[in-house]
């Protein structure tokens, strides 16, 4: 079902791209239309508007058929023609602003992944003093826990405790501390900062690791900014209202040229334009669309790989 596809929160691979570019995609998209959650979501308003159109059409056909003195409900299409470009631009620009937010969110998470790898790579190199071994362990655990905490903060999927226990395997003390903090990502970042500054590494190395924490902090705040601040509500309401008024009056303009075809024409026009708006609203809050779980898991496996590889090399060198 497409439901799942929309919410599968896909990480694309080579197969997916081939399928994406395949010239049968149009047919596939048409066949999946009935199972699309986006389409299902916008049916109610579209159906309501189509019903208004039907009432107008029925009135024009029947009532005026029997009582010729009653006026037909119709207007000229000229005002619609003059306003059409403005409506189109408004809709598509709003969708584009939403896409800008989506892109920004995706870049923030890519930066989280990038900085986590840097931090892991640098930490395993810097923490050489034996007494720092447990600090390193703690640091990497918090580093792995961070994306899960950010994800939980942004989506409230309520499986953070399970993830921290099963996937990150944080210790019980840390788990309690993280779960009971008021702002978990911030707590984890401060804990990482504290671990770094408690260690025996040089000041310059501390500065390098700290700059990663600064960058991670930026991403957390950036994601929070996207989450807490939608596109100005007056813009969103404006688009929505113009769209509704447009389709309430459209049947009057179509009547002269389309008679009963006004009904399917209104339906299709509403479906198309409300769908553009719906997509704009859907990707405006990108975190429920982005595959945050997969990205978090990738970060975890990256950090683990870096640690294992480093230990392997250390053994090799010490073995020699």
> Could you say which residues in the range 126-155 bind its own copies, by CB under 8 A?
none
Touching its own copies, residues 57-96 (CB under 8 A): 75-93, 95-96
Q: Does 164 bind its own copies (CB under 8 A)?
A: no
Alpha-carbon gap, residue 126 to 136, rounded angstroms: 9
Asked if residue 237 binds its own copies (CB under 8 A), the reply is: yes
DSSP code of 70? S
Residue 107 in the binding site for its own copies (CB under 8 A):
yes
Three-state SS letters, 189-244: HHHHHHHHHHCCCCHHHHHHHHHHHHHHHHHHHHHHHHHHCCCCHHHHHHHHHHHH
122 burial via Cβ count (<10 Å: 0-12, 13-18, 19+): middle
Query: Between residues 25 and 200, which has the closer beta carbon with respect to its own copies?
Result: 25
Structure tokens at 33: 């239309």
Chain residues 170-229 in contact with its own copies, contact rule CB under 8 A: 182-183, 186-187, 189-190, 193-194, 197-198, 202-204, 207-208, 210, 213-214, 217-218, 221-222, 224-225, 227-229
From the list 50-58, 97-105, 131-139, 140-148, the region that binds its own copies by CB under 8 A is 97-105
**Residue from the set 52, 64, 106, 174 that interacts with its own copies by CB under 8 A:** 106
Nearest to 112 by CA among 161, 168, 150: 150
**Residue whose pair of structure tokens reads 């009547």 in the numeric block:** 255
* CB nearer its own copies, residue 111 or residue 167: 111
Which residue, 137 or 205, is less far from its own copies as judged by CB? 205
SS3 for 96-114 is HHHHHHHHHHHHHHHHHHH
CA angle 245, 241, 92 (to 5 degrees): 105
Closest separation between CB of residue 250 and its own copies, Å? Answer: 8
235 in contact with its own copies (CB under 8 A): yes
Out of 150, 188, 243, 263, point to the residue binding its own copies (CB under 8 A).
243
Comparing CB distances to its own copies, the nearer of 66 and 158 is 158
- Site map (CB under 8 A) of its own copies, residues 9-48, x = contact: -xxxxx-xx--xx-xxxxx-xx-xx--x-x--xxxxx--x
Q: Whole-number minimum distance, CB 218 to its own copies, in Å?
A: 5
Q: Does 54 sit near its own copies (CB under 8 A)?
A: no
Q: Nearest Cα to 201, choosing from 137, 135, 311, 126?
A: 126
Q: What is the CA radius of gyration of the chain?
A: 28
Residue in 134, 176, 309, 311 binding its own copies, rule: CB under 8 A:
309
């Amino acid at each position: 079902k497409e439901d799942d596809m929309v919410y599968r929160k896909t990480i694309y691979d080579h197969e997916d791209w081939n399928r994406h570019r395949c010239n049968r995609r149009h047919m596939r998209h048409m066949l999946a239309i009935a199972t699309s959650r986006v389409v299902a979501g916008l049916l109610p308003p579209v159906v309501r508007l189509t019903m208004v159109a039907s009432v107008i059409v029925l009135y024009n056909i029947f009532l005026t058929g029997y009582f010729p003195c009653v006026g037909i409900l119709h207007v000229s299409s000229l005002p619609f023609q003059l306003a059409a470009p403005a409506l189109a631009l408004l809709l598509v620009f709003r969708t584009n602003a939403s896409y800008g937010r989506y892109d920004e969110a995706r870049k923030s998470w890519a930066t989280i992944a990038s900085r986590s790898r840097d931090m892991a790579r640098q930490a395993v190199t810097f923490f050489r003093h034996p007494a720092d071994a447990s600090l390193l362990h703690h640091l990497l655990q918090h580093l792995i826990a961070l994306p899960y905490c950010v994800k939980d903060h942004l989506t409230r999927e309520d499986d953070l405790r399970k993830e921290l226990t099963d996937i990150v395997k944080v210790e019980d003390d840390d788990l309690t501390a993280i779960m009971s903090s008021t702002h978990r990502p911030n707590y984890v970042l401060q804990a990482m900062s504290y671990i770094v500054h408690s260690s025996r590494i040089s000041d310059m190395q501390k500065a390098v690791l700290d700059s990663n924490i600064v960058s991670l902090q930026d991403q957390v705040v950036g994601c929070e900014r996207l989450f807490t601040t939608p596109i100005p509500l007056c813009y969103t309401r404006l688009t929505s209202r113009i769209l509704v008024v447009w389709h309430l009056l459209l049947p009057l303009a179509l009547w002269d040229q389309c008679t009963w075809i006004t009904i399917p024409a209104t339906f299709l026009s509403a479906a198309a334009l409300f769908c553009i708006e719906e997509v704009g609203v859907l990707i405006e809050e990108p975190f429920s669309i982005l595959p945050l779980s997969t990205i978090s898991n990738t970060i975890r496996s990256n950090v683990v790989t870096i640690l294992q590889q480093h230990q392997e090399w250390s053994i090799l060198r010490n073995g020699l």
